[in-house]
Amino acid sequence: MKELRKKLEIPKDALKSVNDFLLDENNPLINDLFSVIEKYGGINEINKKAEEASKLDNLIEQINKKNPNYVKDIEWLINARDNHSFISVADYRRKILGDKISDMKFNDDFAVTLELSACQYFPFFIDIAKDALENQKLVPGRIIRVRKMKETMELNRFLTLILEQFFLVILFINLELIMSLKLAFTWETIIHILVYGHY
């Protein structure tokens, strides 16, 4: 086991190569990154704007401007959460197993995570949530979104609002969101989306 663990060690020359790459004043990749960071006011200013843009009230306001029906869906979701309307795992087990549940033991250390891949748009998720409430089903605990960077840039505000709605869903009912953007990007694209919520 010690020999196997030893193989995990990063050689000093490899670390030196990484540091040399990062610290090279002629490295165009890092220099371009620094230029974009400075363009948007520096790290602290970027973080400040990103934090402001992600505040719940600001997100709700932006969504309401684009599609008030989405806000109604979010409010419905909040209400369902606060009223404990969704079935719990314990109650779901009892629903499926009936009296057998008293003779069974569950090891939550090996619990299975229900994953929905891919759920691209907020209305689809709301339909799933409403069906789960009506029929007392479990809602997947992990939601996967896969979008192309080109789509995000072309449909910027609409897709951004969709993203914001998904983040609200996570805040409200404690889901995990995994978002994947496909195709090429630039440093400026990433920072612009972070600061302004769109590109």
* CA pseudo-torsion sign 124, 133, 82, 174: negative
Question: How many whole angstroms separate alpha carbon 158 and alpha carbon 151?
Answer: 10
Q: Does the global pTM surpass 0.75?
A: no
Kindly state whether residue 76 falls inside one of the protein's structural domains.
yes
Question: How many whole angstroms separate alpha carbon 130 and alpha carbon 64?
Answer: 21
Kindly state whether residue 110 falls inside one of the protein's structural domains.
no
Kindly state whether residue 189 falls inside one of the protein's structural domains.
yes
Kindly state whether residue 184 falls inside one of the protein's structural domains.
yes
Question: How many whole angstroms separate alpha carbon 199 and alpha carbon 193?
Answer: 6
Kindly state whether residue 34 falls inside one of the protein's structural domains.
yes
Kindly state whether residue 21 falls inside one of the protein's structural domains.
no
Kindly state whether residue 75 falls inside one of the protein's structural domains.
yes
Q: What is the pLDDT of residues 22-37, one digit of tens each?
A: 999 999 989 998 998 9
Structural domains in the chain (count): 1
Q: What is the pLDDT of residues 102-157, one digit of tens each?
A: 888 888 888 777 777 766 677 888 888 899 999 999 888 777 766 665 555 554 55
Quote the domain boundaries for residue 99. Answer: 28-104+121-196
Kindly state whether residue 4 falls inside one of the protein's structural domains.
no
